[in-house]
Chains A and B, each alone.
Chain A
């Protein structure tokens, strides 16, 4: 192989899936080759930036790219929503990190994605399908206009249950309602895989616990290095402490201490708030100073 140039990772495509969710396809042929479902990357958008973990939502070995789907929630992700355009580069991109999701044994699975978890559940759903399983996708969004990738999921799943909070598309209710329906219809489900906000994953684990269905969740604690060196990503699994970046991010949902995870995710809340406010203020000032240029996030179709 030619040693890939492991810097200046070019953004080759971008798509805005909803006002707060955008997709970046980044060139990294070696990573496209190595990536497996369930793994993630750490991104630094610029030299002063934070290292943030993002799940590999898709990879294309032929094109030599990996796809990230990002929800703009705070300073870093909102800044990326503004600054990451096609032809631009990321300062740092390292991965694939984490232990790949074990795919293969289960015959009938439910893949649950909620909000920002919809994109990362996709490679798992596809992986299970390719391994010959019967795949039921349960996807949750707040409302109809936030729905994305429905077609992509339909193409690789045997059934799809769409859930919206307000009932504007699919069934009205949370993904747990979707899980309930799936279990009702299929008493022989082997495994449930759920990715989304911790509170959602907790709900999913509770929904399957009475049925004793193996439930795998992908945890998203705050990370720094992603190589097992800092311990910032530690999570409680049963009586054990695990580092999500090297021991996970997938764990048995019935053993995860979700309350601990949610508390720990609030660790830097006030600094995150301050950074976001400061950045928004800067954006406002810049916009005011330079009114004629109103940069709308560039869009590009794949």
Chain B
């Protein structure tokens, strides 16, 4: 990647190229995407901001090690197809990751430009490339020679999708089983349309179908058949489990079970997957109070709050026991939520949900917190300020305080689980059952899309080794790990223009 003329921090465009957004006042009334894609000109200008640093800190910041400067350089050369090819070496879902990755803590967080100016907008550039790929129908479909191996994948979230893609490309016959009636996992039921339109997910699922992946929805693995049956009776040579983290936590405070208290997962599933926003044209309702309190400040909480606004809530309040800097959500989401009028109560912890006397919610009792000593996670632990309790009015409460491991697979398979109930795996993503691998949120607990995808791909690699399909040495560089090793069996890359 020869940089022609030497760029310096002084010669590049100083301002990060803005992405157009829907006005806050207008967008809270619709579910259309908030942030618009870069146009060709904006992408070109932004691509100029990359210094093509020799040590490429950004690549190390990306969990799957996308060769960022190389794809940005291709954009600068106006060769989008080449840019796509670079990304596709490691990332199955650029249009998704470009939208939902927490870039500020990953690739962009360590970008050299960011030391002085705003970092290169890597995520937006990636999305630009990903959207173009979908629009133009680009896929890097290899010539696939069937190898006769059958692999069953449980769960169709990013982990399952990524694992399915790699194994299908290696020539395996891959079937993905999904409990819901539509595939996509959290991408479908959790993340709302205004952040990740369904059309993007549909396109990615279609791409998988094109390389022969079969999706069997309406299939609750564990109950309809067990993991052991998949292996021993149904003829699957290997199994991958990517069932995600479900089972939302409740706070365990008085008023938890009042009508009007629900988990963010329920709210989002009703709205996104079941399309309750179109009630009564669809049958699933999601009536909402006028004043909503959302507990938590992760991505799930931000999504819940912004969905509530779009469903017509008059006031949405965020209650979080730490301060803004500790909020686990992507910075952009907090910012968007603020713009849209969410009121934040930082350093505030819920004490009780107050009963309206008819089984519903009348308000919340909270206590102010202050930050004490750092805890084991390195974050300063919030401690209640004595005597600071206060009440406020609300008629709906949404819990977005994290999830626990979904119990179904654990209940129905003799798999080793860790202390918290997640599936235990070794470094190669192998579970305690031979031929059964697992990855994504069901192994790590709730994490990110790109991490789940990376886990799915690494597990695919282990499965290939297990099946005797071109194993590669462990400890290889991210590129070699996720890229397409030239010698790998049954994998001939062809270009379909």
Q: A residues within 8 Å of B by Cβ? A: 1, 3, 6-7, 30-31, 34, 39, 44, 48-51, 75-76, 91-97, 99, 224-232, 234, 236, 241, 243, 246-247, 260, 263-264, 266-268, 270-272, 274-275, 278
Within the complex, the shortest CB–CB distance from B23 to chain A, in Å, comes to 31
Contact B224 A95 (CB under 8 A): yes
Instruction: Report whether B175 and A3 are in contact in the complex, using a CB–CB cutoff of 8 Å.
Output: yes
The 9 A-B residue pairs whose C-beta atoms are closest, nearest first, are: A271-B285, A229-B246, A230-B266, A50-B283, A263-B359, A231-B263, A92-B181, A94-B218, A48-B282
**Any chain A CB within 8 A of the CB of B269?**
yes
CB-CB < 8 A to A260: which residues of B? 257
Q: Which A residues lie within 8 Å of B407 (CB)?
A: 228, 246-247
Q: What separation, in Å, do the CA atoms of A51 and B180 have in the docked complex? A: 10
B280 within 8 A of A: yes
**Which of A30, A231, A263 makes the CB contact (< 8 A) with B250?**
A231
Most chain B CB inside 10 Å of its own CB: which residue of A49, A227, A268: A227
Task: Write out the residue numbers on chain B whose beta carbons fall within 8 Å of the beta carbon of A264.
Answer: 257, 259, 359
B373 at the binding interface (Cβ < 8 Å): no
Give bound CA distance, A271 to B233, whole Å.
Answer: 45
Q: Is B248 among interface residues, defined by CB-CB distance under 8 A?
A: yes
Q: Are B220 and A274 in contact (CB under 8 A)?
A: no
Given A225-B269, A275-B283; A232-B262 close (CB under 8 Å): yes
Residues in A neighbouring B266, C-beta threshold 8 A: 224, 230-232
Which residues from chain A contact B280 at a C-beta distance below 8 Å? Answer: 271, 274-275, 278
Chain B residues, Cβ within 8 Å of A267:
259
Q: Given A96-B223, A232-B262, check contact A227 B283 (CB 8 Å).
A: no
CB contacts under 8 Å to A, within B388-421, are 399, 406-408, 411
The closest CB in chain B to the CB of A272 belongs to B285
- CB of B32 closer than 8 Å to a CB of A: no
B225 CB–A CB distance under 8 Å: yes
Nearest A-chain residue to B407, judged by Cβ? A246
For B218, give its contact among A92, A96, A241, A247 (CB under 8 Å).
A92
> Which residues of B from 271 to 287 have beta carbons under 8 Å from A?
274-275, 279-285, 287
Q: Which residues of B lie under 8 Å from residue A6 when comparing CB positions? A: 216-219
Q: Which of A266, A271, A272 has the most CB of B within 10 A?
A: A271
Chain A residues in 8 Å Cβ range of B406:
227-229, 246
CB-CB < 8 A to A99: which residues of B? Answer: 411
How many residue pairs bridge A and B at CB < 8 Å?
136
User: How far apart sit A112 and B105, CA to CA, in the bound complex (Å)?
Assistant: 58
**Inter-subunit contact B263/A75 (CB<8 Å):** no
Distance in angstroms between the alpha carbons of A64 and B364 in the assembled complex: 52
Residues A225 and B179 in contact, CB atoms below 8 Å apart: yes
The 0/1 profile, CB within 8 Å of A marked 1, for residues 305-329 of chain B is 0000000000000000000000000
Chain A residue with minimal CB distance to B236?
Answer: A3
Q: Does B265 contact A (CB under 8 A)?
A: yes
Contact A3 B259 (CB under 8 A): no
A234–B404 alpha-carbon span in the complex (Å): 14
Give the residues in chain A near B180, CB-CB below 8 Å: 94, 225, 227
State A64–B225 Cα separation when bound (angstroms).
Answer: 15
B265 and A231: CB pair below 8 A? yes
25 A–B contact pairs at CB < 8 A? A6-B219, A44-B181, A48-B282, A51-B284, A92-B218, A93-B218, A94-B179, A94-B180, A94-B219, A224-B266, A224-B270, A225-B179, A229-B189, A230-B263, A231-B247, A241-B250, A243-B247, A247-B407, A263-B259, A264-B359, A270-B287, A271-B280, A271-B287, A275-B280, A275-B283
Q: Give which listed residue, B224, B263, B265, B284, contacts A50 with CB less than 8 A.
A: B284
A264 to B220, CA, bound (A): 26
B285 cross-chain contacts in A, Cβ below 8 A: 268, 271-272, 275
B257 partner residues in chain A, CB cutoff 8 A: 234, 236, 241, 260, 264
Could you say which interface size class chain B belongs to? Answer: 35 or more
B85 close to A (CB within 8 Å): no
A125 CA to B378 CA, complexed, in Å: 56
A225: min CB distance to chain B, Å = 6
Q: Is B283 touching A1 in the complex (CB atoms < 8 A)?
A: no
B residues within 8 A CB of A224? 266, 269-270, 274, 284
With CB as the reference atom, state the residue of chain A lying closest to B278.
A48
Q: Report if B256 contacts A (CB, 8 A).
A: yes
Among A34, A231, A268: residue with most chain B CB under 10 A: A231
Residue B117 interfacial (CB < 8 Å): no
A228-B408, A234-B257, A246-B408 as given contacts; A48 in contact with B283, CB under 8 Å: yes
Q: How far is the CA of A270 from the CA of B262 in the complex (A)?
A: 17
Known: A224-B270, A264-B257. A96 touches B284 (CB 8 A): no
Partner of A227 from B179, B284, B287 at Cβ < 8 Å: B179
Residues of A within 8 A of B281 (CB): 48
- Residues of B within 8 Å of A93, CB to CB, are 218
Which residues of B are found within 8 Å of A228, using beta-carbon distances? 246-247, 406-408
B234 within 8 Å of A (CB atoms):
yes
What separation, in Å, do the CA atoms of A51 and B127 have in the docked complex? 34
List A contacts of B359 (CB < 8 A): 263-264, 266
Contacts of A247 in B (CB 8 A): 407
List the A residue with the shortest CB-CB distance to B259.
Answer: A267
A83 CB, min distance to chain B CBs, angstroms: 13
- B residues near A231, Cβ cutoff 8 Å: 247-248, 250, 262-263, 265-266, 399
A197 to chain B, nearest CB (A): 18
Contact with A along B65-102 (1 / 0, CB 8 A): 00000000000000000000000000000000000000
Residue in chain B with minimal CB distance to A247:
B407
Per the bound structure, the CA–CA distance linking A126 and B264 in Å amounts to 40
Instruction: Give the residues in chain B near A91, CB-CB below 8 Å.
Output: 181
CB distance from A115 to the nearest CB of B (A): 23
Complex Cα distance, B181 from A48, in Å, reads 12
CB contact under 8 A between A96 and B224, given known A231-B265, A272-B285: yes
> B284 to A34, Cβ gap below 8 A?
no
In the assembled complex, the Cα of A121 lies from the Cα of B474 at a distance in Å of 55
Render B187-225 as a binary contact track against A, CB cut-off 8 A, 1 for contact.
001000000000000000000000000101111100111
Q: Give, as a whole number of angstroms, the nearest-CB distance from B382 to chain A.
A: 24
Cross-chain contact of B220 among A50, A94, A275 (Cβ < 8 A): A94
Nearest chain B CB to A258 CB, angstrom units: 13
